[in-house]
Amino acid sequence: MITLKDIAKACNVSVATVSIVLSNRPHRFSSATVNRVLETAKSMNYIPNTFAQSLVTKRTRIIGLLVPDVNNVFFLDFINAVEKVAKHRGYTVVLVNSEDDALEELSNYKTFISRRFDATIVLRASLNFEEGTKQLQHYVSKYKMPTLCMCRNIKGESVFNLYTNEILGAYLATKHLIDIGHKKIGYMSGPLDVSFSQMRLEGFMKAINEAGFTQDQYHITESNYCYYSGTEKAKECLALGCDALFAANDMMAIGAYQSIAEAGFSIGQDVSIIGFDDIRFASMLVPSLSTVHQPMKSMAEEGVSALIDYVEGIVTTPFEKEYNPHLVIRNSTRKQ
């Protein structure tokens, strides 16, 4: 294995010089010396000993990323953006699936602490949400690991909170269905013990109440953000005479496509449907899915950059920021 000593000998410089140059620490070396060290290291296929580096720097340059469900394509753009920013800054991302269980999420977070990861990014899971949130808050406060949380319910002096205005997003989706003339709307919610599900329901009800809908003009059914639950809950709404469906995420909306077709209805003509997230497949469906766009790529880029700045001492105070979603109208919703 090639060592710093080998590179130093080849360049006729000290081991300390090689170490400083390769770790990109401040120095006063000439550009010729720096280039010679970098080119020699490259030509010798030098692979840094990250364990040894971490003993000196007290950093592993590893960020843990907790995702509720890797099968949900909603997270793909976020994951890609996280890895791109982290790689550019010299960090490795370890992706772990929490299986949409907040207690599994907690267990993984504790593992990241024990392995001395530099930071963690958490996209909150839905199952066991209340219990998992309470315990996660405890560990965040106790160990103060720099954490980027894509929600608003984990607080701490080392926590960045980035989130979408869920109420506004659901309000815009529901109002769109009302504005194009629908008279009975079925809302397929996520688990209602989860904060962001509650806010989406609040946005739905805000539009319903503004329109003066009576209780027989809407139906609310609780689900779990999965494709198959969308299929089942859509059947329930259609059986009650709903002429429009609002799914609290795109995966459930895609599941509902199957039930609408099986019932002999035409999407966008007999029944309108709108989702929430704007996953990459939403525009590829036939008909294409109207939905609420969440700026996950922008959130990832800004959040991860700030998180790494905090780890490196460039930023000293974490922040909280809300992003506004916007409506994307496609062919699955049509004026009645």
The token pair that represents 53 in the structure block: 């580096």
The token pair that represents 90 in the structure block: 């010299």
DSSP string computed for 216-231: GGEEEEE--S-HHHHH
Model confidence pLDDT, tens digit, residues 233-268: 999 999 999 999 999 999 999 999 999 999 999 999
Q: Tell me which H or E stretch contains 51.
A: helix 50-57
Pairing of strands 326-328, 291-293: antiparallel
Model confidence pLDDT, tens digit, residues 29-38: 898 999 999 9
Q: How far apart (Å, rounded) are the C-alpha atoms in residues 7 and 5?
A: 5
Distances in whole angstroms, Cα of residue 312 to Cα of each of 32, 309, 316 = 28, 5, 9
pLDDT at residue number 122: 96
Residue 146 is which amino acid? Answer: P
For residue 288, is pLDDT > 50?
yes
**Contact (CB, 8 A) for 301 and 85:** yes
pLDDT at residue number 126: 87
For residue 95, list its beta bridge partners: 65
In the block, residue with structure tokens 């808050």: 137
Model confidence pLDDT, tens digit, residues 181-212: 999 999 999 999 999 999 999 999 999 999 99
On whether the pTM is more than 0.85, the answer is no
- Residue 57: pLDDT band (50, 70, 90) is low
